[in-house]
Structure 1
Amino acid sequence: MSADSVIAIDNYSRSFHGQRSVQLSQMQMLACTGRVSQRDNGGHMTLRISGTALAICLLSAAPAWAQSAEGDSASVGDEKANDEILVFGRLAKDTTLTIPQSIDVLGSELLQSTGSETVGDALRFVPGASRDGSTLDAFGDTYLIRGFQANQTVNGINTNALRQARDSIAIERIEVLKGPASVLYGQLQPGAVVNIVTKQPERDWAGAASLGYGRFDDWRGTIDLTGPITAGGKVRFRLTGAYDDADSFVDFWRRKHLFIAPTIAFDIGEATTVTIESLYTRNKLSGFVNGLPAEGTVLPNPNGPLPRSLGHADPTFAPSIRENSDISARVEHRFSDRATWRTALSWTHEKTDEEGVFGLLGWEDDAKRNLMRAVLTSVSKGDSWTTHSDLALEFDTGPITHSLVLGGDYTWFDRHNRSDVGLAASLDVYDPVYDLAARPDTFPLPDFGSETDESTRTAGLFAQDRISLTDQIKLVGGLRWSHYRQRTESTQGTGPLNINRQTQTAWTSQLGMLYTPVENVALFANRTTSFLPVQGVTADGSPLEPETGTQYELGAKASLLGGRLALNAALFHLKRGDVAVSDRDDPSALIAIGAQVAKGFELSASARPVDGLSLYAGYAYTDAKTTEDTNVALVGKRIRNIPQHSLVFRGDYEVRNGMLAGLAFGGSATYTGDRSGDLEDSFELPGYWRADFQMSYALTENVKLGASVENLTNERYYTHAFSLFEVWPGAPRTWRLSLSTRF
């Protein structure tokens, strides 16, 4: 391999949602003397060495039609004033109008009507959210909100991450709390907390099932059952599941997806409830997609545009498999109407076996026709334990009412990973021939395999007090202490064992005020913070300070006309500080380079003007840039993949009377503006509109026939990018048919 090369390294942390690792991949040693540009908001890193045309971009591995067994929930922007929100305040009965922070709620009605099969599918309806991962590469739930990464929690508790998209069949609603939230949820990026509220067991029998078929031979079946195990429902269950078997618009890509989530709940007396939830999810992906080159997609290529169906992974390689098993137990005890205690314990096991993850190495020559490729294989296993406990108290001090939450959590995480890198034959992308053996002769490359053992421990204590000074004025204050320890043992090829230890402590805070001048109208302001430990050291072996996030927000909310009209507006300024990047002089080390800032405003409105009709519109303006950097050329550059303008329009209408009763229509139009394609803002992803349409007809009271068309206008668009050789095309026009039943 020529020493005169250009290398782009994608960090393995992209495969671990919500966590960010700054360890270098096994390809780092290919370039020891290059200039390394800073890590971007998604934890990715680009390393470049001047020379001839070689660019290595290695990615490490790695329509829900069934009705809910319960009634309908609120859809986006249409939450009711009395809907309780779990994502803020833990056990207190908060609602959207009593929380001094911006929140979007995506209800089960929206998930069903839009055919959103994963959390990521639904998040496109949140103004200011931009996709940063694809179901084609198993990262479909990865989103950037207000310029930075969003983090997932479950039922208001910071639980173990799944390194793949989460199926929507077990979800009752999704709550998006915008901005930093480390006081309640510990270490995370400052963009948002996406809280998953799961479907819970019911005391009455109910069930639903669906079968769907779509373009690209896409089969999907779902089931949702709930009911009592004992008389009166003191012991009750819920079982949800889904199975997908689908091709794609990308050549040789195929997915087999299995998800099953059994839950049991039982009451101990009148005051105590124990809930045991579990899930198993498995994705088998053939033709793991790692993006396309910018030249031929969003930039000109002398040979013409590339088809969006182009797959650069070889079909002779074995599929990549990701598995997660999760079991959690939650106990809630009500001492009185004003005192509640909750504790939870969860265990997650992850396993990956990825064979055919291909990365593009760059153009073979200036003709820009033949792409050089590398292939990565990776096997990993990991276990996570999380325990959480909190106590919620309501009490009065004179005329002032307090809602106090005290709690703590502890996380234990271990993972072992082994990976190898090889070189594959070049691919003529305008006349591709796929004929590799499962292991090319150049596999593995000497000294580029790696083996890593990672061990992480985190502990936190927090307190939050919501204070009602009067019926109109409420204050929120919170404080968290967090402690983080990590030990990593790694070997590179035949090199020595490297041991890295990190210990970091941080304090985060939360302040907010809410003023209700008249009933169902609220004005709010807040200052919230976050922190994220940095895994790595400087060139002299010193640890770096945790990355920080600080948001200032002003806003207003209103629920008018008996809940038929909801309005929301917010101004925000969010700063990410102490951003850690690779040292430009020593790629194996880190430096702290400065800050990134996202600021802007959001507007949304939802209405139910007549029975059966619901409307929603949302707009977000986001100005996200690097404001401090040791490389002055990057100051003022846009943060990768953040559109300045984004819009969401959604409408649903159900005919409830007459001969057409049971007929329902729905449609949405979303606009994503121009975005920077990489950290250096060297190219741009064009803005695009996407229009979707759905309709259904109730054949009987319990049987429904549905149809949908996604990307109705067959728009050619690109969802996200990481570098000049990692641009993801969106799917062409896609249709689906489904049959669902409730019983």
Structure 2
Amino acid sequence: MVLPIQNETLKTEKIIIRNNNYNKLFLTLTSALLLSPQASANNNRTANNNEDTVIVTGEMNGHPEKNFVESDSAAGTKSLTPLIKTPQSISVINRTQIEAQGAMTVADALNYSSGVVTNYRGSSNRNDEVITRGFRYAPKFLDGLSYGSNSSAGTVGQIDPWLLERVELVHGPASVLYGQVSPGGLINMTSKRPTAQTIRKVQMKAGNHSLGELAFDFGGAMGDHIPVLYRLNGLVSTQKQFVKDYKKERIAIAPALTWIPNNNTTFTLLTSYQYDPKAGYRNFYPKIGTVTPVTDVGYMPYNMNLSDPAFNQARREQSSIGYILEHDINDVFSFQQNLRYSRSDERSKYLVYATDLTPTTIGRFPQREHNEIQGISVDNQLKAFFSMGNIEHSVISGIDYKWVDNHSKLWRNRDKEGKYHFDWSNPTWGIPANEKDLSLIQNDKKKLHQLGGYLQDQLSWENWNLALSGRYDWTETTQQNLINSTTKIQKDRAFTGRAGLLYAFDSGISPYISYSTSFEPNLAQGAPGTAAFKPTTGEQTEIGIKFQPKGHDTLLTFSLFDITQKNVTTSNPVIRFSEQIGKIGSKGVEAEIHSQITPEINLIAAYSYTDTKTKRDGRAARVGKKVPSIPEHAASAWGSYSFTQTALKGFTLGAGVRYVGSTSGDYKESFHVNPYTLYDLMAKYDLGEAAFQLKGASIQLNVNNLTNKRYVASCSNVEACFYGSGRSIVATVEYNW
């Protein structure tokens, strides 16, 4: 039989173990599904009736390649598939790229990918909210299961990228395999997994804004005769934010164990705990003073805190426990079950910007929030790999279930007396709000039950590749208003599907076409007294071409897409609740290349053209207008050079540029936000090249937004703008032994 070692960021090796020596097998076997919970233990399997011979195919941990190019992914099909044969656009950001570019958040890791807006909230992006193919917001999945709370009204929760092995962006609808997702795409994050090869790594960071971080990563076998592997990641960090008087503090730890009871079974236990006693800044800014200057005053200071240090809390606690069970039934069938229970508790209080009173004076009101979310997700997959005539089949049939319980409370004081008015040109802080004056205006419990069944067949005949998928979902949403003791129950059913056809030429060129749909029950909170929101649905047609030249470590993807989404929900900052605005259409072009041009040179480049407009809305002024915050044009490029021969051997230098085009400032296109360009730099040195005693040690410097450019990241309307993030300087010292 074949057992895979699935860390795709590392070089594939084959090891033949004879005489059924279990001890040797264990010492060479890394944790199954190190790439992804969907990465099947049955891909590339070779039937072998000789029980004394086991072929282990995989990628040995501890020897990462110095490039960002990935050739396979399981995120789009729940089965490890070459990207060149996947009829869908998928961006893969591996551990090497995350570390080289100094990504401090999952959103940062996507900065050099096509079709995604990662920075629309600037430094106010507490939950890694990103926009994909013109739609808010890309739902997040961890190890193939829904992470945090996802809905078209937003995403809740954030995981530190130190705990992750890779981040993948699936472009376009993927409901057929994942259930409720946005038609723009989804983010799949993969946890670091146990490995048989010893990992001992510590890392320290320091930087501007008083950054300090200590992280560790340990892994290996529990013992020579114990069939258990382990992984332990953790960090402690603190940093002041760009906004005055705000900080981020974090403690995180993620223990994991893999048990290998026999040659056919693996069981991986994944746990995590993350506590952010200070979770950072979140607020809005006015158009006047940010997008347009005020006469005789100019622009609002870039680090302006529109809340108050005397009334400031942002606390978040997250925990989860789950497992991945894989069992090879025989040479054709295998079974996999993923399960996770998660819980989060978020508490915040701040003065919320509400409206302009004069060009420099704003109205604010104190607000306090408390959100408790818990949920269970489970995904059962039966997989079969077989041939019928000249056609090879890779079939997955699955049943998944998700339960989410969300209890949210909101207290506000509308400040009719004007005691919280604020002149940002002559600021005065230290105005504490009396929490007794706040009224409980929202006390809701929302429960979601979702059951889905899906079937997918990937057929291969000569150079043709056909993917056919279908899914049916049953959902029940219960919303309880505990203030007026009312209950609403909404039941929805939906069929979603996908069909994709690709032809892989021997030259490495693969044109494809696909059609897919999406379905998303809506847990967004409307204004009190409003009816429950209708489910959000979408459909996409995509045509594209991929190119992976033979003998070259390069992957190019070019795609054209056309998406229509109905029953779209967005946040209304005036009433501070969500609302459904109707129908949105998005069409565009995306191009992305990852290439190891030479052993020394890495290159990433991406371009996006996105035309997103409101097609139907109750307010006629919005129809035919561009959706705010979505740049029509965006482009990025990153390159690095590693010195391998000269006196500079051990040095790696990298540089990147990110361009984001002009965006509409509101749904009426009454104003626009200027385009901006940011520059990033990286320098790294392997200290082992300087002295043998320092082998395994390295130093690295990352500078993002090199010129400290002042820019407005986006606006949703005149009272919902966001300053972008300023310059970030981070020095990293790492030691592996």
**Which one-letter code corresponds to 1:697 in the other structure?**
Y
Q: How many residues align?
A: 658
The residue that corresponds to 1:56 in the other structure is none
Task: Say which SS state the counterpart of residue 120 (structure 1) adopts.
Answer: helix
Cα distance, 1:538 vs structure 2: 12
Pick the aligned partner of 1:716 from 705, 710, 719: 710
2:118 aligned with 1:118: no
Q: Superposed, which structure 2 residues align to 1:420-499 within 5 Å?
A: 420-422=411-413, 423=415, 425-439=420-434, 443-445=437-439, 449-468=441-460, 470-492=461-483, 496-499=484-487
Q: Superposed, which structure 2 residues align to 1:318-717 within 5 Å?
A: 318-355=312-349, 357-364=350-357, 366=358, 368-422=359-413, 423=415, 425-439=420-434, 443-445=437-439, 449-468=441-460, 470-492=461-483, 496-535=484-523, 545-579=534-568, 594-700=582-688, 701-717=695-711
2:239 aligned with 1:246: yes
CA distance in 2, matches of 1:723, 1:224: 44
CA distance in 1, matches of 2:178, 2:550: 35
* Contact 2:120 2:629 (C-alpha < 8 Å) held by counterparts: no
* Contact 1:86 1:156 (C-alpha < 8 Å) held by counterparts: no
Structure 1's unaligned 5+ residue stretches are 1-67
The residue that corresponds to 1:185 in the other structure is 178
**Which one-letter code corresponds to 2:88 in the other structure?**
Q
**Which one-letter code corresponds to 1:310 in the other structure?**
M
Cα distance, 1:649 vs structure 2: 0.4
Q: Superposed, which structure 2 residues align to 1:244-283 within 5 Å?
A: 244-283=237-276
1:696-721 deviations in Å (ceiling 9; x for gaps): 11112311111122111221122233
**Which one-letter code corresponds to 2:442 in the other structure?**
S
CA distance in 1, matches of 2:187, 2:226: 31
Cα distance, 1:482 vs structure 2: 0.5
CA distance in 1, matches of 2:708, 2:322: 43
> 1:134 and 1:283, CA in 2 relative to 1: closer, same or farther beyond 3 A?
farther
CA distance in 2, matches of 1:475, 1:713: 48
Task: Say which SS state the counterpart of residue 518 (structure 1) adopts.
Answer: coil
CA distance in 1, matches of 2:65, 2:427: 48
Task: Say which SS state the counterpart of residue 250 (structure 1) adopts.
Answer: coil
* Contact 1:87 1:155 (C-alpha < 8 Å) held by counterparts: no
**Which one-letter code corresponds to 2:514 in the other structure?**
N
CA distance in 2, matches of 1:579, 1:725: 21
CA distance in 2, matches of 1:210, 1:729: 31
* Contact 2:88 2:514 (C-alpha < 8 Å) held by counterparts: yes
CA distance in 2, matches of 1:554, 1:359: 44
CA distance in 1, matches of 2:320, 2:75: 21
* Contact 2:289 2:298 (C-alpha < 8 Å) held by counterparts: yes
Task: Say which SS state the counterpart of residue 548 (structure 2) adopts.
Answer: strand
Comparing both chains, which one has the higher relative contact order based on Cα–Cα distances under 8 Å and sequence gaps of 6 or more? 1
2:131 aligned with 1:131: no
> 1:517 and 1:308, CA in 2 relative to 1: closer, same or farther beyond 3 A?
same
Cα distance, 1:565 vs structure 2: 3.3
CA distance in 2, matches of 1:372, 1:87: 46
**Which one-letter code corresponds to 1:255 in the other structure?**
K
The residue that corresponds to 1:25 in the other structure is none
Cα distance, 1:543 vs structure 2: 6.4
Structure 2's unaligned 5+ residue stretches are 1-59, 150-154, 689-694
TM score, norm. by length of structure 1: 0.84
CA distance in 1, matches of 2:579, 2:300: 38
Cα distance, 1:135 vs structure 2: 7.5
**Which one-letter code corresponds to 1:549 in the other structure?**
G
CA distance in 2, matches of 1:541, 1:426: 30
CA distance in 1, matches of 2:480, 2:532: 16
The residue that corresponds to 2:209 in the other structure is 216
CA distance in 1, matches of 2:433, 2:361: 21
239-248 or 558-567: which moved more? Answer: 558-567
> 1:337 and 1:159, CA in 2 relative to 1: closer, same or farther beyond 3 A?
farther
> 1:360 and 1:595, CA in 2 relative to 1: closer, same or farther beyond 3 A?
same
Cα distance, 1:732 vs structure 2: 2.3
Q: Superposed, which structure 2 residues align to 1:25-174 within 5 Å?
A: 70-72=62-64, 78-80=69-71, 84-90=72-78, 92-131=79-118, 134=121, 136-137=123-124, 139-148=126-135, 149-161=137-149, 163-174=156-167
CA distance in 2, matches of 1:205, 1:557: 37
Cα distance, 1:651 vs structure 2: 0.3
Cα distance, 1:336 vs structure 2: 2.8
CA distance in 2, matches of 1:281, 1:641: 30
The residue that corresponds to 2:720 in the other structure is 726
**Which one-letter code corresponds to 2:726 in the other structure?**
P
The residue that corresponds to 1:24 in the other structure is none
